Structure 1
Amino acid sequence: MYINYSDIPGHPNLFLDYLYEFENVEKFYGKNFRDEHEYNKLFDSLESYDRPHREKVTAIIKEQYRNIRASKLTLSNIEELNSKNTIAVVTGQQLGIFGGPLYTFYKTMTAVKLAAYLNDKYDNFHFVPVFWLEGDDHDFDEVRKINILDRDNSLKTLSYEDGLDDSVNRGSVGNIKFNDNLRNLLEELSSSLRDSEFKMTLMDLLKSFYQPEVTFLESFRNLMIRLFDEYGLVVLNPSDPEIKKILAPVFKKELSDYKEHTVSLVERSAELEEIYHAQVKVKPVNLFYIDENERLSIEPLDEGFRLKGRRKKFSYDDMIAQLEFAPERFSPNVLLRPICQDYLLPTGFYVAGPAEISYFAQLTPLYNYFEINSPYIYPRASATILENNVQSLLDKYQLKIEEVFSPKEDLIEKIIARNSGNNIDAVFEEAQGKINVILDELGKSLIVIDKNMLDLTEKTGTRINENLKYLKNKAADAERRKHEVTIRQINKMQNVLYPNENLQERELNFTYFANKYGLDILKWIFNELSINKFEHQILEL
């Protein structure tokens, strides 16, 4: 079953037009991911593009895998990256603890399945799925939390607490090492999940990767390799100092030409704002600098640069010297990251979610400045897992699943009204109308006696309406108490299908389903997930 994205709240118009009305946004993107007849032009261009660091990138990835027992398919794919006819199908994500929201896995599955589809269709090229680890990101609050459903089917947020003040700049999250507080999180997760035949296996898996003194990046990377290595997924750590050395020319060009880049990005963003919205606020320089373990924006001065929030200043020559001496101290922001990715890799496709698709509309001008081929931006698969017991509730209340994608209170009122002989809103609306008519007629009669009586009548009407509103609220509360079982079941249903009034894939962590059905649930999702419908998919379990 599939649902059009326009029927689900929260999707930006830019994303919807990208999917369904591409001619409206073609000037922002250039390449239409649906137009397969044009694919070969990019493939041929990527094959002929002189990529002198191709061999070096392959060697670095091999070194990153040196202590990993990878599958033959993955090792073959790493080797293939050294070939001129190899094209990368890339996706990436922040290092969310325990894998983050479900959509991280859906993005990964889309990249793997897209690469397989392309390998079947194009004999002259080899397509390799690559996962780009967003280790340079510094949003600690976003990566340390997961949502699950607990033993009572209540939505619960679990968070890793490192004991530091929230105002502390922790630098790149990929370098943060877990401390002993991680054990508290693992214990809380275990106690929150229902007992099942799969819980011990799941918890052992997480504990094998998530340990004190191990970094966010290492833990996330090893989990992704464990879950997707059999499909040949290549997990790339771009925070590697050796990778940063290769990226030094990109960083240098950004430092040298940031004014020109910024003008173009601001103009593009303004153009987007006239019709849609600009996803990312444009910064003067699209680079960060690591100083004393803090990741700080580089800001321009009349002469040189400074670090945001610091008094430390650099001349242009000093900054270039820093880049040549220690390129690992530099990292791209969200708008420059794709340029770095596609400078390193022969990227034919980037698998993106709605927000990423939106910000790609802003950054495409940068590809011309850096003389790099822009990839096709391929929408990731999107899905909601629908379990049998939840389907039974939908059937019981005669609900279509689309109706669940609405505010909880609206859904509860709709169900109660549908299953009750009384429509409280209608009853009180009718009563209010009758009272207003009576008061109006009364006012007309009393004004003949004394003009001041009209004002008194209006005040009396106001008090009556306030009492009527109070009575309506009491009646609604009584009606809700009468339907307590119904309300509990609706809460349970929405907690699974539309938690926090958001799509399941954006809120729930995979551990909830893996605990109920085992790790093989991921293989089931992989097999069921469609990557070419470009609508939200309902996976009936």
Structure 2
Amino acid sequence: MNVVSDSLKSGSALADDYINRFAQVQELYGDDFRLEESWRSRAEWLDESEGTRVSRKALTDCLRQYNSRHNDYKEVHNSLDLLAQEGTLSIVGGQQSGLFTGSLLVVYKALTIVLAAKEAEEKLQRPVVPVFWIAGEDHDWDEVNHTYVMTPELQVKKIKMDAAPGPRNSVSRIQVSPEQWKQSIDHLASLLPDSENKPAILELLHQAAEESGNLSDAFAKLLGRLFGELGLILLDSADPALRALEIPVFERIIKHNDELGRTYQETASRITSKGYPLQADVTADGANLFYIYEGNRLLLQKQNGSFTDRKGIVEFSREALLKELEEHPERFSNNVLTRPLMQESLLPVLGSVLGQGEISYWAITKDAFPVMGLKMPILLPRMSFTLVNGTLRKYMEHFSLSFQDVQHRLDDARQSWLNAQADLHIEPRFEETRSAFEKLYEPLIRELGTIQHGLIPLGEKNRDKILEQISYLERKTKQALEKQHEAALRQWDHIGVSLFPMGKPQERVFNVFYYINRYGFGWILDILGSCRRYMPEHQIVEM
């Protein structure tokens, strides 16, 4: 396995500047993740602020119960033992609980967390544990209920789990029936080619499904299978036991809600004034909290001194909301702007591993941390990979294609190659023919008009029909040429679909089990071994 760096097109201008031109956006963030001094300074601040977070013992007891159910590995319990000790720090990152873990980027985020924790531990000479924050409180079912694999016919196929009709609840609270699990697993099984790894994959998925009543529990079990032996602690943000520990944090968010709201708006204005789009909604009346009512997760806003939802289904005074929190903490959850504050209040976060979209919206939260007596952690860009097997590498070399060619100009390169296969240069010759025809025909139409004006529209209609027939012949010629070079063009398609399926980076589309089916469960550890150190640059992994 060989790993080389190469750039991947960015989905966020702000995140791109954070990674590559930090000085330009420094005022929107905290410390520079590349500087060793940033890590030492952050560790010292965490030591000094130990008392601002929830009890380590209470937190680790809660996490031990959860991980014993879904991620019961000796190495995980060792990590929890360390986390319970004052002075232990953590690297944290999270994601929604996607079907069969979702796309590859979820696995890469977990890999980054593990690698960054190990590197930080060596750098600081003190314990640093990896923690994965499962965003089970999120309620967007359509974002998590599907994943994709590639078929031997080079088709990108979607596997989707339809939810039973019901309230707009958190993903961790949406029940999944055995029939739904079976249908999704059977669909995946029908799309994966037979291999020596396929039986073990299906056995793992069936076992996870049998022991899980919802998508988040299955997600945890699968992530545990992939990273449990590396000591990765899992946390579900919708865990009722965890929610009870969060009462003091929610209380501070409610009491300081107006001040938090002002910081979000002021920072959002600074971001947009620099020409960057906002990656999260910031409204003047937003409370940035959700309240769960009869199974529906309602986003709260402030109106006339009260907390209510957009439709006016619920309404609380500040005092009534605090009382509700004390009696029913399970009814509260964070939005994207308060989740960073909650994470910081629970864990000794040395660094937070984020994707590009997250880096962008975390900028909105920078000045909110001090309102809560907190400080923004070091933000680590998630490591990014594209997997290229030997066959793809051979095809790319044959057609003299670089990764950047595939990323930015594959269609043009494909057409240029195809045109070069024929002695007749199709597009230029047909363009010449069209131009010559129009040059000869236009004067004729005008001359005919001197005989009878009605001949001009007739001539123009005739001209358009002839041009249409020339274009038709051009299309048929290209089809014939493609037919003649069908095998080679399939190789071009193989390159494009494998590396940029649906026009998106591979890591944002394909599921990890598609690759486990081909390479076995060990390839993730192989990447970890090949990387050796954390790198924010995109990397090509030659399998």
TM-score, reference length from structure 1: 0.91
Q: Which residue of 2 aligns with 1:481?
A: 483
Secondary structure class of the residue paired with 1:433 = helix
Alignment of 1:312-323 (within 5 A): 312-323=314-325
**For residues 96 and 530 of structure 1, do their structure 2 counterparts lie closer, same or farther at Cα, with a shift above 3 Å needed?**
farther
Q: Which residue of 2 aligns with 1:244?
A: 243
Q: Which residue of 2 aligns with 1:289?
A: 291
**Identical-residue share of aligned pairs (%):** 29
CA contact under 8 A between 2:137 and 2:171: conserved in structure 1? yes
Per-residue deviation at 1:70?
A: 3.9
Q: Which residue of 1 aligns with 2:185?
A: 186
CA contact under 8 A between 1:129 and 1:232: conserved in structure 2? yes
Q: Which residue of 1 aligns with 2:220?
A: 221
Per-residue deviation at 1:12?
A: 2.0
- In 2, the alpha carbon distance for the partners of 1:277 and 1:296 equals 26
Per-residue deviation at 1:53?
A: 2.0
Q: Which residue of 2 aligns with 1:200?
A: 199
Match of 2:394 among 392, 395, 402: 392
**For residues 422 and 405 of structure 1, do their structure 2 counterparts lie closer, same or farther at Cα, with a shift above 3 Å needed?**
farther
- In 2, the alpha carbon distance for the partners of 1:271 and 1:429 equals 51
**Unmatched tracts of structure 1, length 5 or more:** none
Q: Which residue of 2 aligns with 1:505?
A: 507
- In 2, the alpha carbon distance for the partners of 1:214 and 1:455 equals 70
CA contact under 8 A between 1:383 and 1:538: conserved in structure 2? yes
Q: Does 1:148 align with 2:146?
A: no
Q: Which residue of 1 aligns with 2:29?
A: 29
Per-residue deviation at 1:3?
A: 5.1
Per-residue deviation at 1:318?
A: 1.8
Moved more, 451-460 or 381-390: 451-460
Per-residue deviation at 1:540?
A: 0.6
Q: Which residue of 2 aligns with 1:137?
A: 138
- In 2, the alpha carbon distance for the partners of 1:34 and 1:458 equals 66
Secondary structure class of the residue paired with 2:366 = helix
CA contact under 8 A between 2:256 and 2:371: conserved in structure 1? no
Match of 1:172 among 149, 156, 170: 170
CA contact under 8 A between 1:406 and 1:501: conserved in structure 2? no
Match of 1:356 among 345, 355, 358: 358
CA contact under 8 A between 1:254 and 1:286: conserved in structure 2? no
- In 2, the alpha carbon distance for the partners of 1:393 and 1:461 equals 44
Higher relative CO (Cα under 8 Å, sequence separation at least 6) belongs to: 2
Alignment of 1:263-282 (within 5 A): 263-274=262-273, 275-282=275-282
CA contact under 8 A between 1:289 and 1:295: conserved in structure 2? yes
- In 1, the alpha carbon distance for the partners of 2:224 and 2:211 equals 20
- In 2, the alpha carbon distance for the partners of 1:421 and 1:32 equals 56
Per-residue deviation at 1:213?
A: 5.7
- In 2, the alpha carbon distance for the partners of 1:273 and 1:192 equals 45
Secondary structure class of the residue paired with 1:25 = helix
Letter in 2 for 1:373: K
Per-residue deviation at 1:276?
A: 1.6
CA contact under 8 A between 1:342 and 1:372: conserved in structure 2? yes
Alignment of 1:38-437 (within 5 A): 38-49=38-49, 50=51, 51=53, 53-67=55-69, 70-123=72-125, 125-162=126-163, 164-165=164-165, 168-179=166-177, 180-211=179-210, 214-274=213-273, 275-283=275-283, 284-406=286-408, 409-410=411-412, 412-437=414-439
CA contact under 8 A between 1:380 and 1:531: conserved in structure 2? no
Q: Which residue of 2 aligns with 1:491?
A: 493
- In 2, the alpha carbon distance for the partners of 1:98 and 1:112 equals 20
**For residues 143 and 319 of structure 1, do their structure 2 counterparts lie closer, same or farther at Cα, with a shift above 3 Å needed?**
same
Per-residue deviation at 1:39?
A: 1.9
Letter in 1 for 2:201: L
- In 2, the alpha carbon distance for the partners of 1:425 and 1:102 equals 39
What is the aligned residue count? 535
Provide the aligned C-alpha RMSD in A.
2.6
- In 1, the alpha carbon distance for the partners of 2:513 and 2:306 equals 49
- In 1, the alpha carbon distance for the partners of 2:456 and 2:6 equals 55
Per-residue deviation at 1:78?
A: 1.0
Per-residue deviation at 1:54?
A: 2.4
Per-residue deviation at 1:381?
A: 0.9
Cα offsets for 1:433-469 (capped at 9, x unmatched): 3334434665787788899988777666555444433
- In 2, the alpha carbon distance for the partners of 1:407 and 1:184 equals 39
Per-residue deviation at 1:10?
A: 5.0
- In 2, the alpha carbon distance for the partners of 1:405 and 1:111 equals 27
Secondary structure class of the residue paired with 2:256 = helix
Cα offsets for 1:29-84 (capped at 9, x unmatched): 13211122332111101111123522321222223234567444322221222333
CA contact under 8 A between 2:71 and 2:224: conserved in structure 1? no
CA contact under 8 A between 2:104 and 2:509: conserved in structure 1? yes
Secondary structure class of the residue paired with 2:539 = strand
**For residues 486 and 56 of structure 1, do their structure 2 counterparts lie closer, same or farther at Cα, with a shift above 3 Å needed?**
same
TM-score, reference length from structure 2: 0.91
Cα offsets for 1:211-243 (capped at 9, x unmatched): 276222221112212211111111122322332
- In 2, the alpha carbon distance for the partners of 1:14 and 1:328 equals 35
CA contact under 8 A between 1:95 and 1:217: conserved in structure 2? yes
Letter in 1 for 2:483: R
Secondary structure class of the residue paired with 1:115 = helix
Letter in 1 for 2:17: D
Per-residue deviation at 1:273?
A: 2.7
Letter in 2 for 1:143: V
Cα offsets for 1:231-281 (capped at 9, x unmatched): 111112232233223322332233333333223322322332341211111
- In 2, the alpha carbon distance for the partners of 1:307 and 1:42 equals 38
- In 1, the alpha carbon distance for the partners of 2:71 and 2:455 equals 90
**Unmatched tracts of structure 2, length 5 or more:** none
CA contact under 8 A between 1:101 and 1:505: conserved in structure 2? yes
